[in-house]
Structure 1
Amino acid sequence: MELFVFALDNEVKNLHKNNVKLKVIGDISRFSERLRKRIDKAEALTQNNTGLKLNIAANYGGRWDISNSVKQVFAKVQSGELSIDDINEENINDHICMHDQENVDLVIRTGGEHRISNFLLWQVAYAEFYFTNVLWPDFDEMVFQSAVDAFSKRERRYGGAESDDELGKE
């Protein structure tokens, strides 16, 4: 974790200068107090930045994210702030780590793997996936452009069924 502290200490000012908003997603409660303070400081410094968003997944799992969100919603039910009948996807989404960002449009999976691996389970519900055998260290602009080109040719349906035309109906 010292590398994480080092990176935050050395990069956060540059991120801020470039208008990048930094967010660490995951269960940081198990990190040292020193690291948690650095994370809080870095996020506070960049919280009003409006440029790119840099999410660092640290001790993160999609199942953890969803269960943590459900716990927070349940706490609101217990306190009387929310009725159990009012629990819905929106309430749960409001407590997901990346609730303040758009859902993921494209997941690029390198190294020939064809699985989600417990990553951003909620956020990738309607994402498009691109799989490549290229290993991460060899992933370059050309491979990225191939993924973007493939993505741009897809018809996004966001969970909807095929259109009547695609089903051969009139």
Structure 2
Amino acid sequence: MKTILWATLSANGNYAQSSTVNPPKQEAFADFVSNAKAAGNFIVGRRTFEAMRASGGGGFNDIDIVVISSNRNEMAGVKLAGSPQEALEYLHEKGHQTALLAGGADLHNSFLEHGLVDELIFNIAPVLEGKGLNLLIDREQYLHKDVLLVECKPLGGGVVQLRYAIGG
């Protein structure tokens, strides 16, 4: 199964933080919706999913949503998984060929740490943020991982998308 990590980053490389004061760039969100529909699924952490729901980010009725969380309290309309491997096994069993990782940073870092990401999609938003979360390949030691630029395209509104394949 091909696993794609999708994220919006600030121009200085941090995860772009969104809130009611600084909502996500519409062009980036529209790209996420398009990728989720193409994959037929997305995997997300509980906090990120709860924030999506609270902000009205819906419209995913025909998409399999897997929420990874250590909190196993049921959530309506989603599959709960305790680990990246469990999430991928569930989607594979459902017949999906691609899994889309929606966020957040802890989830992305967990998948990267276990070598479970095949492709990266970074939407670079035209903002600078003084504080932010970052991607880490390995939390214990520095690792070098080659990536291959597959595509670079503007999405509009100053958002640029970089798509990378992760090298072996």
TM-score for the superposition, normalised by structure 2:
0.33
Q: Which structure ranks higher in relative contact order (CA pairs < 8 Å, sequence separation ≥ 6)?
A: 2
More strand by share: 2
Larger Rg: 1
TM-score for the superposition, normalised by structure 1:
0.33
